[in-house]
Structure 1
Amino acid sequence: MYSLILKNAKIVDDSFRFADADIAVEGDKISEIAPGLTGGEEIDLTGCVLVPGFVDVHIHACVGTDTCDADPDGLAKMCAHLVTKGVTTFCPTTMTVSHEEILNALKTVKYCMDHPPKGAAIAGVNMEGPYISLKNKGAQKGEFVKDPDFKEFKELYDACGGIIKLVDIAPECPGAPEFIRQASKLCKVSIAHTLADYDCAKHAFELGVAHATHLYNAMPGLKHREPGVVGAVFDDPRVRAELICDGFHIHPAVLRVSFDALGKDRAVIVSDSMRSAGEPDGISELGGQTVYVKNGQARLKDGTIAGSTTNLHQEVKNLVGWGVPFLTAVQAATLNPAREIQEDERIGSIKVGKFADLVALDSDLNIRMVVARGKIAVDNKE
């Protein structure tokens, strides 16, 4: 007897093609995928498409709470909110703040992984900073920017039980080559907040960098005689790249070009959201700096973009509206990020044996239902 059977929806299968089949859930896993299943609580999802739960590997904050607050209740609030947006797994992301604040945040995330709150599951931590370029720090706080220090990073990694899944680096900084060689043995190393040129970026990829943080933002762009970091990423099939798809960080036309250049396997949709995600416009905070949010756009006082207020579900809808194929957008929000944090054997696609993390979308791509780890977390009945 199955605990749950999702019936009559079109599903996005493990190859990211449409299929007509029911999905049976037993416990927290997908136990069978086939037409005409019976033998459990049956949910009729006629007219819907079932996609894997979204995976956000770069998210600082939402609904007024931030990873760097190092507050278990705050992280629980994030988990509860994100699952309503179809995000079933995420990586709380730290900023360039003090060593003590990063350490406390990492330990708090580890505590919440050991004592999971309800809602979206926490897969590990993304460390955005402090090993970045002071000259291209964006909304990161300059006083805490420092050169790459693998010894310090390893101490942080060990202190939190090895839950760091991604760490950012500006490869032109002193000590970067050795840091990349060592850190890439422990987690994914990402190029970020950098002034590196094409050659420097390509060398970093040879050393072990395999990810690019919020492509285009806080890095040299693509020019016809200066390919920059963006050109280096497009030119190297080993590297996946994050894209913030709110239409503000990157123009929709550039997003279409980028998805064409990266192909279906290398684009990773992220929110990079801050406290104001899920909140009204107004004054907020990010990494110890005041942020002003107007019309959903977050900026520092000097006009610097300061994270986003979006979420992966809205970004998938945006992309489809801007001409990116639905299946490409879905894979970029599910399997591709799961691969980046080495969790694709458990999440990221609809396959027997994987966690039952599923989102039912109606014909307008609105969320009809969210199943997280086999339990119905959201049921927006018509």
Structure 2
Amino acid sequence: MILKNAKIVLEDEILENGYLIIHDNKIKAIGQGSVVEDGIDLKGKWILPGFIDCHVHGGYGVDFETGDQDRFQTFAKAVGQEGITKYLQASVTTDVVTMEKNFKAFGVYMNTKREGSICLGAHMEGPFIAVEKKGAHDEKLLIKPNIELTNQVIEWSNHHLKMMTYAGDLQDGSFTKFLIENKIEPSIGHTNMLASEFEKDYLLGAKHVTHLFNGMSGIEHQRPGLVVGAINHRDVLVEVISDGIHLQPEILRFIYQVKGAENICIITDAMNAKGLADGEYFLGQLPVIKTGMKVCLKSNGVLAGAGATYDHNVRTMKKYTNASMNELIKMTSINIAKQLNIFDQTGSLAPNKLADLVVLDHDLNVEMTIAEGKIVYEK
């Protein structure tokens, strides 16, 4: 497959009139200028590395907890329309019996032949989180970080648990060590911890923070919280829900200024109602109401996941920060690929890397998504 007459966004430059050649599942060549061979003429549209969403619960009527036995495949085939080529599918807090059922189903899915965008594994969000910052998690099911239960989840998922959100202050560092030893990315979030309490986990190797500002202690001069800890350490990668709802434009600009494009990863945190009509749905076992891209708990109006698509969040981040295209791909692809130790395979456009890419029009709307050499979405 040849894509030509495109603006190709590489790590440190942009090819204004470029071509990209795909052979099997990899990028064979990238170059400047025209090619005589037949190919897809993109007429000056953008080619970016495929988006990697490390925190998405679901969308299009399915998520980790809801839908039939084919729900994980349903989501994989639908999410390409957002420009996503790879993702971590996130769970929410449930009882242990339901948790076992869902993670076993996920483990079976991960070990079968799959179509669409590619799931890299699970991101477990809850139940190891703080009551004070629970967000849309069921308070009566919350517990402290538990190594024994996590070992069970690892087994249930067929060893496809890749990231864990937990309140770092509810453990003494042993849980953080356990995650790192088991090659599970520790992500601190849904916590009321002090910035000083974050230090123990940072020094052990915790360098990821779940949806910065949302569900955590913030910037208070007499009680600096996790937000301050995450900002003070330049090398901590922070998730940002840049839908324009979870964070106001001024906060998006603030994060961009203080963290830099090198230390941000854009996420959706989207739940099953993404892509569906407004109305009443469930997040786990909690009733929610979707209005436009906003999803809130029916009981108290607290934000409950999100309803925006990844490409919307990319456009919103670009709009409010005026980030360059080279900076944008750091926040959508490069940074998280490095964090998940897959940057040698994907996350940027280079010969011999996997052909994971998205074609965007001049307004950054998705025209085509290619995951490992296969077209998984075409407008």
TM-score range normalised by the length of the shorter chain: over 0.9
Q: Which amino acid aligns with 1:159?
A: W
Structure 1 pair 131–205 and aligned structure 2 pair: CA distance change class (3 A): same
Question: Contact conserved, 1:23 with 1:37, CA < 8 A, in 2?
Answer: no
Q: Which amino acid aligns with 1:306?
A: A
Q: Following the alignment from structure 1 to structure 2, what is the Cα–Cα distance between the partners of residues 106 and 339?
A: 26
Shift in Å, 1:227: 2.7
Question: Contact conserved, 1:71 with 1:108, CA < 8 A, in 2?
Answer: no
1:19 corresponds to which of 15, 36, 44:
15
Q: Following the alignment from structure 1 to structure 2, what is the Cα–Cα distance between the partners of residues 161 and 375?
A: 26
Shift in Å, 1:160: 2.2
Shift in Å, 1:320: 1.5
SS at structure 1 position matched to 2:321? coil
Structure 1 pair 196–295 and aligned structure 2 pair: CA distance change class (3 A): same
What are the Cα deviations for residues 231-284 of structure 1, in whole angstroms up to 9, with x where unaligned? Answer: 110111231110000111000111011011111211011100111100111101
Q: Following the alignment from structure 1 to structure 2, what is the Cα–Cα distance between the partners of residues 40 and 47?
A: 17
Q: Following the alignment from structure 2 to structure 1, what is the Cα–Cα distance between the partners of residues 245 and 55?
A: 17
Match for residue 6 of structure 1? 3
Q: Where in structure 1 are there 5+ consecutive unaligned residues?
A: none
Match for residue 93 of structure 1? 90
Matches within 5 A, 1:114-133: 114-133=111-130
What are the Cα deviations for residues 72-115 of structure 1, in whole angstroms up to 9, with x where unaligned? Answer: 41111111111011111111111111223223322222322222
Match for residue 337 of structure 2? 338
Q: Which amino acid aligns with 2:352?
A: G
- Matched-pair identity in %: 28
Match for residue 176 of structure 2? 180
Shift in Å, 1:379: 2.6
Which TM-score applies when normalising by structure 2?
A: 0.94
Matches within 5 A, 1:109-258: 109-173=106-170, 175-186=171-182, 187-258=184-255
Q: Which amino acid aligns with 1:351?
A: A
What are the Cα deviations for residues 334-370 of structure 1, in whole angstroms up to 9, with x where unaligned? Answer: 1122223222222211111111111111111112222
Q: Which amino acid aligns with 1:325?
A: A
Question: Contact conserved, 1:58 with 1:93, CA < 8 A, in 2?
Answer: yes
What are the Cα deviations for residues 182-224 of structure 1, in whole angstroms up to 9, with x where unaligned? Answer: 1122211011110101111122212332111011011111133
SS at structure 2 position matched to 1:151? helix
Shift in Å, 1:170: 0.7
Q: Which amino acid aligns with 2:368?
A: M
Question: Contact conserved, 2:134 with 2:215, CA < 8 A, in 1?
Answer: yes
Q: Following the alignment from structure 2 to structure 1, what is the Cα–Cα distance between the partners of residues 137 and 328?
A: 29
Q: Following the alignment from structure 1 to structure 2, what is the Cα–Cα distance between the partners of residues 37 and 31?
A: 16
Aligned length: 375
SS at structure 1 position matched to 2:262? coil
Match for residue 321 of structure 2? 323
Higher alpha-carbon deviation: 164-173 or 327-336: 327-336
Which TM-score applies when normalising by structure 1?
A: 0.93
Structure 1 pair 16–130 and aligned structure 2 pair: CA distance change class (3 A): farther
Question: Contact conserved, 2:163 with 2:185, CA < 8 A, in 1?
Answer: yes
Matches within 5 A, 1:244-283: 244-283=241-280
Q: RMSD across aligned C-alpha pairs, in angstroms?
A: 1.7
SS at structure 2 position matched to 1:51? strand
Match for residue 360 of structure 2? 361
Q: Following the alignment from structure 1 to structure 2, what is the Cα–Cα distance between the partners of residues 158 and 38?
A: 50
Structure 1 pair 157–70 and aligned structure 2 pair: CA distance change class (3 A): farther
Shift in Å, 1:71: 4.2
Q: Where in structure 2 are there 5+ consecutive unaligned residues?
A: none
Q: Which amino acid aligns with 1:192?
A: G
Structure 1 pair 211–49 and aligned structure 2 pair: CA distance change class (3 A): same
Q: Following the alignment from structure 2 to structure 1, what is the Cα–Cα distance between the partners of residues 293 and 33?
A: 44
SS at structure 1 position matched to 2:348? coil
Question: Contact conserved, 1:16 with 1:331, CA < 8 A, in 2?
Answer: no
Structure 1 pair 263–316 and aligned structure 2 pair: CA distance change class (3 A): same
